[in-house]
Amino acid sequence: MKEFDLIKRFFAEQPVQRKDVHLGIGDDCALVSSGEHHHIAITTDTLVAGVHFFADAEPRAIGHKSLAVSLSDLAAMGAEPSWISLAITLPSVDENWVSEFCAGLFELAEYFNVQLIGGDTTSGPLSITVTAQGLLPANKGLSRGGAAVGDWLYVTGELGDAALALKMLQQEALVVPEHQEVLLAKLHYPKPRVLAGQILKEYASAAIDLSDGLMGDLAHLCQASQVGANIVLDDLPLSAELLANVGADTARELALTGGDDYELLFTVSEDNKVGMETALSNAGVKFTCIGQLNKSMKLTTTLYSNVVQVNAKGFEHFSSD
Ligand SMILES: [Mg+2]
């Protein structure tokens, strides 16, 4: 019991103090206010050792990622991250581990001005649950369901790097030493696209964050919006490191099906295309148009020429599995 009280002290030393938090850690509940004309976006993610991360992964990286995945969901809705609560289950009390975990978590929290307002600490197999909340001007949020036939399909950043890093750790792929650090950082320290989401809420018709792989997440968007989509394979944004280590075909496949990118996938109408591209460019956000939405609701051809067809029922890609 005393040991866990000690751990709680680490969490009490968090860096952010927001004005809209009236009561933070330490009481039965936290009290916050959202201001008028705002909705609150709320999302929860659990990361379990051995399932979502290697149990012996660097605690700093686990701290970063357990917050980053939730902030990525807020980004996909166009919400401004505000408050988090944390439920952490630890097999034993290791002060160094907790200290490093907090360093990773709080570095990201400070960057996005997010305050830890409560949580719980228990004993058991290592698992971390973060609930993140963010603010949205009322009726301004993005969802998966707003896309229309003819809208253009975009992604931020580059795809497939985290999937290659995972394959490297699982000894299923070889990566030259000079690229390992860059690729591992993509897996362990994803950057939630919060700024992009803030801009996109003014222009995009729909958005989703890429956690499970482009094809699967696009199928969710297609289902919610009742549209189909084409992806132009040559237009997929691939990093030099990815291409150098696996070649074009595998790089595309990792970009299409690998998880853990935490980039945003979003759609924009023809009318909003130029405004959106200008706004993202001015903010220094990297983005790529990868295809267009269509009305094809039945899964037809897998791959014709250079295009993959995706719709609500799922997708097929060019490998045979
Ligand atoms: Mg998500």
Q: How far is the CA of 208 from the centre of ligand 1 (A)?
A: 6
Q: How far is the CA of 93 from the centre of ligand 1 (A)?
A: 31
Q: How far is the CA of 73 from the centre of ligand 1 (A)?
A: 5
Mean pLDDT lowest among 14-23, 91-100, 286-295, 307-316: 307-316
Q: How far is the CA of 132 from the centre of ligand 1 (A)?
A: 12
**271 labeled binding residue:** no
Query: What pLDDT, on the 0 to 100 scale, is given for residue 314?
Result: 58
Query: What pLDDT, on the 0 to 100 scale, is given for residue 302?
Result: 44
Chain-centre distance of CA 114, in angstroms?
Answer: 16
Chain-centre distance of CA 24, in angstroms?
Answer: 26
| β partners of residue 207 | 266
Q: How far is the CA of 213 from the centre of ligand 1 (A)?
A: 11
Mean pLDDT lowest among 99-108, 116-125, 279-288: 116-125
**124 labeled binding residue:** no
Q: How far is the CA of 7 from the centre of ligand 1 (A)?
A: 30
Query: What pLDDT, on the 0 to 100 scale, is given for residue 179?
Result: 97
- At 198, the amino acid letter reads Q
Q: How many CA atoms lie within 13 A of 225 on its CB side?
A: 33
Q: How far is the CA of 69 from the centre of ligand 1 (A)?
A: 8
pLDDT tier at 26, thresholds 50, 70, 90: confident
pLDDT value at 305 more than 60: no
Query: What pLDDT, on the 0 to 100 scale, is given for residue 320?
Result: 32
Q: How far is the CA of 53 from the centre of ligand 1 (A)?
A: 17
pLDDT value at 309 more than 90: no
Q: Where in the chain is the domain with CATH 3.90.650.10?
A: 152-315
* Six-digit token string for 126: 């290592």
Q: Residues 6 or more apart from 132 whose CB is under 8 A from it?
A: 42, 43, 44, 67, 70, 71, 73, 74, 81, 83, 84, 114
Nearest Cα neighbor of 117 from 101, 133, 102 is 133
**261 labeled binding residue:** no
Nearest Cα neighbor of 16 from 84, 63, 75, 67 is 84
**161 labeled binding residue:** no
Q: How many CB atoms lie within 10 A of CB 102?
A: 22
Task: Give me the CATH code for the 152-315 domain, please.
Answer: 3.90.650.10
| β partners of residue 42 | 133
Query: What pLDDT, on the 0 to 100 scale, is given for residue 21?
Result: 95
**94 labeled binding residue:** no
Query: What pLDDT, on the 0 to 100 scale, is given for residue 2?
Result: 67
Entry pTM: 0.92
Q: Are 86 and 63 in contact (CB under 8 A)?
A: no
Distance CA 122, CA 62 (A): 17
Nearest Cα neighbor of 152 from 304, 284, 288 is 288
**249 labeled binding residue:** no
CATH-assigned architecture of domain 2-137: 2-Layer Sandwich (3.30)
Mean pLDDT lowest among 49-58, 124-133, 206-215: 49-58
* Six-digit token string for 239: 């990093």
pLDDT tier at 315, thresholds 50, 70, 90: low
Q: Are 183 and 159 in contact (CB under 8 A)?
A: no
Q: How far is the CA of 215 from the centre of ligand 1 (A)?
A: 14
Q: Where in the chain is the domain with CATH 3.30.1330.10?
A: 2-137
Pairing status of strand 152-156 against strand 206-209: unpaired
Axis crossing angle, helix 240-257 with helix 177-188, rounded to the nearest 10: 40
Which conformational region is residue 316 in: left (phi greater than 0), alpha (psi within -120 to 50 degrees), or beta? beta
Distance CA 313, CA 321 (A): 17
Of 223 and 5, the structure prediction assigns the larger pLDDT to 223
Q: Residues 6 or more apart from 193 whose CB is under 8 A from it?
A: 72, 75, 156, 157, 209, 262, 263, 264, 285
